Structure 1
Amino acid sequence: MSFSSSSRLSLHHVSIAMIVMLEYLQTIMVAFASSYISGGIDAAPEEFSLAAACYAAVAVVMILSHRWLVQQFGYRTMLRLSLLSFGIGALMCGCANNVPEFIVGRMVQAVGGAAFFTASRVQILHYQGKARIPAMLAMPVGIIFGSGLAPVLAAFMVENYSWRGMFLIMVPLALLVDIVVARAVPEREPVENEQPDELHPRGVLMLAGGIFLLQFALERARFDLFSNGLHLWALGFFAVAILLGTLWHEWRRETPLISYREFTSERYVLGLSVYCFGYLIVSACNYILPVFMVQGLGIAVQNTGLLMGLSTLIGVPVAFGHLKLMMRWPYIKYYLLCGLGLLLIFGVMMERLSEDVPLATMVIPVMLLSGLFMPLVLGTAAAGTFRGVEEKVFTHAYQVKNAMREVANSMGLSWATIILQMRSNLHYHRLAESTGQMSPWYGGAGVGADPWGLLTNPSSSSLAQLGVALTRQSTLMACQDFFWGVGMVALLAAVLVAWQRRFI
């Protein structure tokens, strides 16, 4: 397939953006409306967590098998098969009536959706020199549009239709992307490796087992960290040992599935660390923000989705400006420090918000996270991590990065959930101790000092009203603690970035 035609060229740019947008759109919609999905299929939190672990485990295996699949089927055919699997999985999820049906649907989605991020980035390698710049911009545009539209669309669906609409709408979208891919994406690889990848059954089994156990431990930590913490730590270490064994198994082979030896370097590892940090923060904040706004501040779901979505779309011009600046002043450290400074400001501003804050006040801090931090930090990591990686092994290097992304997203979600549970429980008990007959100060201020009617035969409705108020206030305070922690983590990360001399 020739790229000389200007119409074909522009359509190929569209395909790069649409492929990655599809994956981000579905992933963020599921995260945003997880409580609605859980209620719709009658899933306990542990069961919904298992669905997430199964999705991530399948996705990691498929990501690391990406180039081998391309070599078996060709790029265009592999992508079209992936879109078919993604669409069938979305249809299964949208029609699911119970937890097993939903889990199977998500696993089928993962078989297809795992290819999108890597494929979008690898397609950029078809271009050389200045012709690569528009292609490089197409990918972040797709990511930002997918991330921005997801909360808006999810909020609209759950408020006006059903959570099922978030999955069913992906079927025609996958069909639309398939039409574009069939016309624009070539069958051949952009850069072919002289030595084809080789799939080793034992290595794949070890990889699949290790990833599933690690994801399962991370997801279960949200619920069993204190009751079965020792078992979870043991399971996590066992999973890591299996994955290290898989790495050793691949490293020593002449024809590995992933040629780690050819691209692993100090710069690459440091870049993965920056990526991991960014994904952890974004994943955790994407979970906490809707909780903070809807449950803590009492903002309507649709307004929450609209605010988060529009704030993310600000990142489109930021990504364009960032790329131009990077081409002229390629100083990685300073862009990272700028992004971390914005994250620190975001944490401080969010920590100071209270119940009576107007919606407009939240625009700036949310924009700092979604519209500025993400393009600056993740975009800078992309520019620095793969510098020096040869194009013949670029696909492998990017596959490993995307596999790490799945694990980092799970870790961010688990840590955010654990922090929220710990701090909200602490604040709830402290607030309860200062309310009603449990506190000698309650009711000691004269007239109007018994707002809940707790001193004289409180009714069940008064107690219920008190419970709702305490839960809301404790959730608000827990989220404020989380944002304060984000600010402190940003400050510590900025000190480390300023101190290091390797990733500059």
Structure 2
Amino acid sequence: MSSPVPKALLVPLIVACALFMESVDANVIVTALPAMARDFGRDPVSLKIAVTSYVVGLGVFIPICGWVADRFGARTVFRTAIGIFVLGSLLCAASNSLFTFTLARFVQGIGGAMMVPVGRIIIFRAVPKSEFIRAMNYLSVPALLGPAVGPLLGGFITTYLHWRLIFFINVPIGIGGIYLTNRHIANLQEPHPGPIDWFGFMLSAGGGALFLLGLSLVGGELASGRTALLTWLLGTGLLVVYWFYANRVKLPVLDLRFLRIPTFQASVLGGSLFRMGLGAVPFLLPLTLQEGLGMTAFRSGLITCASAFGGMFMKTIASPLLRRYGFRSVLTINAAFSGIAIAACGLFFPGTPHWAIWCVVLLGGFFPALQFTSLNSLAYADIESRDVGRATSLASVIQQISLGLGVTIAGIAVQASSVLQGHETARWSDFWPAFLLVGLFSFGSIPVTSRLPANAGDEIARGTNAPSVSGGH
């Protein structure tokens, strides 16, 4: 019996529900980090490794998701991804130490890595081209609602119930998603997906994972400083080997030759500096409000959700701004505004009116969201349609590493500030150097984007609407 709901609506909504689950989960967790740290007997800043481990899971498996979907069928892989994500959520709820929680977040990252790109493949194959833009617009809903709902929900549950309960939110959504996927999504696959660069995958995945984890272990309590340094050096070495390898094979798993395209290079490399600041704010802000200013998790969530409203407002004016001023001007000027908006969050001190904090956080959502949307749009300005999949894999992995680096560097900056000021635990005065540092990363992207031609990306800027603000993969 066919569904009364048109497939052009039903399939995107099923995929969007899975993405909403992931988006809410990411924003719920950062609000609950201080409460988790107390239960684990750890410094809240040391939980940066739990955030980074999720990003590692994403970055490691994104490059092979398209091949896996072609080999085993998109429906099979998508429902498996949902199942892995829910399993990771239950493991998070059952964790009784930072080590087990970090492993559980890595499992969640594996599931999240497969959900988003495979979900897009499902929509591309199931929806007529005439309905494709409309279908993709449905995927912007999780990106907009997740950052608004997540902090509120996480703050309420953490303050009035218990942080472990936040991970059970994913269970009914996941079960419903698997059921609807089985019933309404066809298991389309390619009969001969071709070979995959397994050696390159091992080099890039191992290098990226060890590089990020090594930095995340700095100043933590899971490993010694020597172990952290050796882990980081090994990861760096593997990435250097992959760089030489990828430039010598025909179809590497991550094709670095796309970085020779000026618009792609500006979006990915220049954008990486900006994304480091963007990735740090959701981690730093709840810690500042709760550990530095003494707010409850719920009060913190009421404030941090303001950034989502800033992003929503931005979505209504991004396309007109890009059409009017072009990518180069918007990316260059808005990078400065973004850096100032991020750094301004370090100005909070005990006694700062909550309405003033809310307004600063609102602006801290608006300008960075405009920058992110512009960068995501520019990435595909000069990419041939046949190369979109491989270009997306490279951009997504670098994006995830950048976001993870932002969290790691911000955490190290807070810990260094605490040590220099002689504080045993982080105080409000320990956070401003971290916000200033990650704000400067946004300024660091200006020399890269300012080298773009004045007409770079004009075809996209004056064509369809800019993509959503989703961090995505």
Same fold, judged at TM 0.5 (above): yes
SS of the equivalent of 2:163 reads coil
Instruction: Give the Cα separation in 1 of the matches to 2:130 and 2:274.
Output: 28
Instruction: Give the Cα separation in 2 of the matches to 1:167 and 1:276.
Output: 30
Q: How far did 1:124 drift?
A: 6.1
Greater CA drift, 401-410 or 360-369: 401-410
Partner of 2:169: 169
Instruction: Give the Cα separation in 2 of the matches to 1:50 and 1:365.
Output: 27
Do 1:61 and 1:208's aligned partners in 2 also have CA atoms closer than 8 Å?
Answer: yes
Q: How far did 1:495 drift?
A: 6.0
Counterpart code for 1:401 = A
SS of the equivalent of 1:196 reads coil
Alignment of 1:477 with 2:429, yes or no, is yes
The 1:242–1:341 alpha-carbon spacing in structure 2 relative to 1, beyond 3 Å, is closer
Do 2:51 and 2:407's aligned partners in 1 also have CA atoms closer than 8 Å?
Answer: no
Partner of 2:232: 236
Partner of 1:102: 101
Q: How far did 1:366 drift?
A: 0.3
Instruction: Give the Cα separation in 2 of the matches to 1:185 and 1:62.
Output: 23
Greater CA drift, 233-242 or 298-307: 233-242
Do 2:273 and 2:444's aligned partners in 1 also have CA atoms closer than 8 Å?
Answer: no
The 1:482–1:101 alpha-carbon spacing in structure 2 relative to 1, beyond 3 Å, is closer
Partner of 1:445: none
Q: How far did 1:384 drift?
A: 0.3
Instruction: Give the Cα separation in 1 of the matches to 2:55 and 2:443.
Output: 30
Partner of 2:35: 36
Map of 1:331-480 to 2, 5 A cutoff? 331-347=326-342, 349-370=344-365, 372-428=366-422, 475-480=427-432
Alignment of 1:137 with 2:137, yes or no, is yes
Offset from partner CA, 1:388-426 (integer Å, 9 cap, x none): 223333222222222223322221111111211222333
Partner of 1:270: 266
SS of the equivalent of 1:17 reads helix
Do 1:18 and 1:142's aligned partners in 2 also have CA atoms closer than 8 Å?
Answer: yes
Alignment of 1:211 with 2:163, yes or no, is no
The alignment's TM-score, normalised by the length of structure 2, stands at 0.82
Q: How far did 1:174 drift?
A: 1.5
Counterpart code for 1:387 = A
The 1:492–1:382 alpha-carbon spacing in structure 2 relative to 1, beyond 3 Å, is closer
Unaligned runs of 5+ in 2: 458-473
Map of 1:49-68 to 2, 5 A cutoff? 51-52=50-51, 54-68=53-67
Q: How far did 1:214 drift?
A: 0.8
The alignment's TM-score, normalised by the length of structure 1, stands at 0.78
Instruction: Give the Cα separation in 2 of the matches to 1:408 and 1:138.
Output: 26
Instruction: Give the Cα separation in 2 of the matches to 1:349 and 1:205.
Output: 40
The 1:247–1:71 alpha-carbon spacing in structure 2 relative to 1, beyond 3 Å, is farther
Partner of 1:199: 196
Instruction: Give the Cα separation in 2 of the matches to 1:116 and 1:339.
Output: 31
The 1:83–1:264 alpha-carbon spacing in structure 2 relative to 1, beyond 3 Å, is farther
Instruction: Give the Cα separation in 2 of the matches to 1:490 and 1:98.
Output: 35
Q: How far did 1:282 drift?
A: 1.7
Instruction: Give the Cα separation in 2 of the matches to 1:215 and 1:101.
Output: 18
Instruction: Give the Cα separation in 2 of the matches to 1:365 and 1:130.
Output: 41
The 1:214–1:23 alpha-carbon spacing in structure 2 relative to 1, beyond 3 Å, is same
- Percent identical among aligned pairs is 20
Instruction: Give the Cα separation in 2 of the matches to 1:341 and 1:49.
Output: 26
Offset from partner CA, 1:331-365 (integer Å, 9 cap, x none): 11232245324324424643444322221111221
Offset from partner CA, 1:244-277 (integer Å, 9 cap, x none): 3235445544554445557863322221124323
The 1:486–1:50 alpha-carbon spacing in structure 2 relative to 1, beyond 3 Å, is closer
Instruction: Give the Cα separation in 1 of the matches to 2:440 and 2:312.
Output: 27
Do 2:155 and 2:297's aligned partners in 1 also have CA atoms closer than 8 Å?
Answer: yes
Partner of 1:282: 278
Q: How far did 1:382 drift?
A: 0.9
Counterpart code for 1:407 = I
Unaligned runs of 5+ in 1: 430-466
Q: How far did 1:172 drift?
A: 1.1
Do 2:32 and 2:297's aligned partners in 1 also have CA atoms closer than 8 Å?
Answer: no
Greater CA drift, 66-75 or 24-33: 24-33
Tell me: higher relative CO, structure 1 or 2? Use CA pairs within 8 A at least 6 residues apart: 2
Count of residues in Structure 1 that have an aligned counterpart in Structure 2: 452
